[in-house]
């Protein structure tokens, strides 16, 4: 069956959660939170705020953390805040899969919502790995987005914008640092993107 990668505008929750320029923001926020509390979703989170003047100077050695772009103090605060919101909203998380880049791993640990497993499958490859390896990682991420989590739980993936764009389409090329894209896994049918939430919106849902 053809893989489904669509952003629902009024089909699952009746509305779109986070709108970009030129779009209207008309989400049923309560509907989204109730769905996440029930479970059955994959939440892709781009790592939180980093220093744009830093670069990954040794991307072939992912154990060389000092040579990587890092979260800022603000990025760490954002990650802790979102994790606090997940717990306050009682969003159950079965597991967290994180990129091997430290900014993603640190994001995952600071969320503190479930145990963290690092995977090369969701690590940014770019120009330092072969095109075939980049394609393999994109396929692996598509598989993860399609997998149903255990009943009553959600899966969190902390990764990078290029990975999501390669796996799910160019419409995700504007995903910001700390933004969450909520996917509905459809098993063999693929997955559907059902909401986008910037990091600062989660705290608003607690009200």
In a domain, 7, yes or no: no
For 57-100, how does the pLDDT look when each residue is reduced to its tens digit (9 = 90+)? 998 899 999 999 999 999 999 999 999 999 999 999 999 999 99
E strand or H helix at 47: none
For 91-104, how does the pLDDT look when each residue is reduced to its tens digit (9 = 90+)? 999 999 999 999 99
49-53 LR contacts (CB < 8 Å, sep 24+): 49/74, 49/75, 49/78, 49/177, 49/178, 50/75, 50/103, 50/177
In a domain, 78, yes or no: yes
Q: Residues of the chain whose pLDDT is less than 70? A: 1-28
Domain count, the chain: 1
Domain containing residue 39 = 29-53+64-205
Percent of the chain with pLDDT over 70: 86
In a domain, 4, yes or no: no
**pLDDT reported for residue 23:** 32
Q: What is the DSSP letter of 2?
A: P
* CA angle 95–96–98, rounded 5-degree value: 150
Q: What is the mean pLDDT of the chain?
A: 88
CATH for 149:
3.40.50.1240
């Amino acid at each position: 069956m053809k893989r489904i990668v669509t952003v629902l505008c009024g089909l699952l929750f009746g509305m779109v959660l986070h709108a970009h320029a030129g779009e209207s923001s008309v989400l049923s926020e309560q509907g989204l939170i109730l769905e996440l509390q029930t479970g059955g979703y994959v939440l892709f989170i781009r790592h939180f705020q980093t220093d744009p003047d830093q670069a990954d100077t040794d991307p072939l050695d992912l154990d060389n953390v000092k040579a990587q772009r890092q979260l800022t103090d603000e990025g760490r605060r954002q990650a802790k805040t979102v994790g606090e919101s997940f717990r306050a909203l009682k969003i159950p998380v079965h597991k967290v899969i994180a990129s091997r880049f430290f900014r993603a791993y640190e994001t995952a640990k600071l969320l503190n919502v479930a145990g963290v497993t690092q995977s090369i499958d969701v690590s940014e490859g770019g120009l330092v790995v072969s095109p075939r390896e980049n394609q393999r990682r994109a396929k692996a991420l598509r598989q993860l987005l399609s997998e149903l989590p255990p009943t009553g739980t959600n899966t969190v993936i902390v990764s990078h914008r290029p990975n999501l764009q390669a796996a799910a389409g160019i419409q995700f090329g504007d995903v910001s640092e700390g933004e969450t894209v909520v996917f509905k896994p459809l098993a063999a049918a693929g997955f559907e993107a059902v909401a986008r939430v910037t990091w600062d919106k989660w705290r608003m849902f607690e009200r």
